[in-house]
Amino acid sequence: MEKIFNIVKNNDLFEGVIFKDFEKLYPCLSPIRKKFKKSEIILNAGDKANYVYIILSGSVKIVKSDIDGKDNVLTELSVSDIFGEVFACANILHSHVTVVSLQESEVLFLNYKKIITSCQSACSYHSKLISNMLKLVAKKNIMLHQKIELISKRTTRERLLLYFDIHRRNQKKFTIPHSRENLAAYLCVDRSAMSNEFSKMQKEGIIKYDKNQFEIL
Amino acid sequence: MEKIFNIVKNNDLFEGVIFKDFEKLYPCLSPIRKKFKKSEIILNAGDKANYVYIILSGSVKIVKSDIDGKDNVLTELSVSDIFGEVFACANILHSHVTVVSLQESEVLFLNYKKIITSCQSACSYHSKLISNMLKLVAKKNIMLHQKIELISKRTTRERLLLYFDIHRRNQKKFTIPHSRENLAAYLCVDRSAMSNEFSKMQKEGIIKYDKNQFEIL
DNA sequence: ACATGTATGTTGTAGTTACAACAAAGGATG
DNA sequence: CATCCTTTGTTGTAACTACAACATACATGT
């Protein structure tokens, strides 16, 4: 129990929940622990969306299939990350995405209804969970908005400049925490075209960079 | 009071709340009603985000300024629509967007804290409000995801085909509830380029359309 | 040291888009 | 009906992107 707490306490859902409370709370959530092998499917598109999932060990990828059947990796998640909460909260009956284990992983299944329905004992930590969930979903909302703002830009350069502006936090020098490939995927542009744009911007004296260290000039 | 109820009951936030309960609930939310003239600013980027706003009459536009100062209309909202809830729920202290009245409008300000904090009387309708709010924000989340999926597509045609696929609901014939201009804005493409693409697709025998009536062939 | 694999940068090309400018078709108004 | 305004479609062009193919660098394991 304490082991689980030490993992899930890192998730915003349990922000401000102390172990003493967690002990009482945890059994209320009808928790189930399951292990998955590499490439095993944790949640399939079309499955019922009754659970909120938290990764206890390992990592997973969230995949969405195209109309034409092409798979599309939306994100990769690892220990203490949560998924499935948006479908559950939106009362969507079935998942739109598939979740696949990237390695040997253990996942905690929590009953969504039990999370958002105050228990009879009307415990205060329970209402804390609910407001945490609300905050968590709203924050995701803002991140999605940010991404939309980014990819609304028509050119690679505009997207990069906005990305820089968001992530440099008023610093001239900053580090980008993505590989080129992942950054390109996030910005929805071709990787090589993006690399090319980086070079151009350096030649034009707009930026300077070395590996993932960037500087605005 | 009944007049207000008849407006806000159309908003998901008050789904399942009956008038009898609303009467008791309403005063708990520290409601404020304010009127705004055309072009008057209701909420400025940078303002404190303590309220959830519901439009009682008129209409507004949500505007986000670019880095280079260019204004960008995110959406237009009208009677019984809600705004400001995401910033409030995410505990973002200040709004990122500006909200401007498009005409003579009246707006209801509700204290966010009062919405998500169960009152002493622990009224059941109050917890209904909270779960409605959660559902509402989560649904918005899914809509944002859908938009990201759309504009992740690299070409106008791919975006259109996906848009059709989402909105036709397995019907061959369907109506698009947007002007060309608004659809182009939603898909983040140039309007004339989109019109052009429509023509091409019709010439190629992929679709047929007349005004806003479309048919997949 | 060698082979292998992965991440990144470079180049050319064909295809796509944004943009501007204009045309055509209604709608509203006086 | 003439005028104005808005919406939508059309065309040409310059700019941009995706894609493929390749080059380079670096890390890993054998």
User: How much is the pLDDT for B99?
Assistant: 94
Residue nearest to nucleotide D16 (CA to C1'): A155
Under 8 Å between Cβ of A122 and A130: no
Residues B139 and B170 in one domain: no
Q: Which amino acid is at A122?
A: A
Q: Which CATH number characterizes residue B172's domain? A: 1.10.10.10
- The residue behind tokens 């498009």 is B102
Q: Is residue B10 part of a domain?
A: yes
Beta bridge pairs of residue B94: B48
Average pLDDT over residues A64-69: 80
The proportion of chain A whose per-residue pLDDT surpasses 70, expressed as a percent, equals: 97
User: How much is the pLDDT for B121?
Assistant: 58
Which contacts qualify for A180-188: CB closer than 8 Å, 24 or more apart? A185/A73, A186/A147, A186/A150, A187/A150, A187/A151, A187/A156, A187/A159, A187/A160, A187/A163, A188/A151, A188/B151, A188/B152, A188/B154
Residues A118 and A181 in one domain: no
Give the three-class secondary structure for A81.
Answer: coil
Residues B158 and B136 in one domain: no
Instruction: For the beta carbon of residue A136, count every other beta carbon within 10 angstroms.
Output: 22
Residues A8 and A106 in one domain: yes
Question: Looking at B143, B177, B203, which one is the last position of a domain?
Answer: B143
Q: Is residue A148 part of a domain?
A: no
How many domains does chain A contain in total?
2
Residues A70 and A176 in one domain: no
Give the three-class secondary structure for A136.
Answer: helix
Helical spans, DSSP H, in chain B: 2-8, 19-25, 85-89, 112-116, 124-152, 156-167, 180-187, 191-203
The proportion of chain A whose per-residue pLDDT surpasses 90, expressed as a percent, equals: 71
Q: Which amino acid is at A72?
A: N
Residues A24 and A124 in one domain: yes
Verify if strand C has an atom below 7 Å from the CB of A153. no
Residues A128 and A158 in one domain: no
User: How much is the pLDDT for B135?
Assistant: 94
CB-side exposure of B42: number of CA atoms within 13 Å? 34
Closest chain A CA to residue B142:
A86
Residues B89 and B190 in one domain: no
Using 50, 70 and 90 to split pLDDT, how confident is the model at B114?
A: confident
Residues B16 and B72 in one domain: yes
Under 8 Å between Cβ of A110 and A54: yes
Residues B211 and B173 in one domain: yes
CA–CA separation, B88 vs A125, rounded Å?
A: 21
User: How much is the pLDDT for A115?
Assistant: 86
Residues B131 and B158 in one domain: no
Q: Is residue B148 part of a domain?
A: no
- Name which of B86, B88, B138 is nearest A89 (Cβ-Cβ): B138
The CA-CA-CA angle for residues A152, A154, A155, to 5°, reads 130
Using 50, 70 and 90 to split pLDDT, how confident is the model at B71?
A: confident
Q: Is residue B112 part of a domain?
A: yes
Question: Looking at B86, B119, B143, which one is the last position of a domain?
Answer: B143
Q: Is residue A95 part of a domain?
A: yes
**Domain assignment of residue B167, given as a range:** 153-216
Whether residues B135 and A90 touch (CB distance < 8 A) is answered with yes
Q: Which tens digits make up the pLDDT trace of A80-121?
A: 999 999 999 999 999 999 999 988 899 999 999 888 876 665
Q: Is residue B75 part of a domain?
A: yes
Write the CB contacts of B124 (distance below 8 Å, at least 6 apart in sequence). none
Residues B176 and B126 in one domain: no
Q: Which CATH number characterizes residue A68's domain? A: 2.60.120.10
Q: Is the pLDDT of residue B53 over 70?
A: yes
Average pLDDT over residues A149-170: 94
Average pLDDT over residues A43-66: 92
pTM of the predicted model as reported, rounded to 2 decimal places = 0.91
Q: Is residue B108 part of a domain?
A: yes
Using 50, 70 and 90 to split pLDDT, how confident is the model at A69?
A: confident
Which span out of A113-117, B127-131, B149-153 was modeled with the highest average pLDDT? B149-153
Average pLDDT over residues A23-44: 91
Give the minimum alpha-carbon distance from B47 to chain A in angstroms, rounded to a whole number: 17
Q: Which tens digits make up the pLDDT trace of B152-196?
A: 999 999 999 999 999 988 898 999 999 999 999 999 999 999 999
Question: Looking at B116, B143, B170, which one is the last position of a domain?
Answer: B143
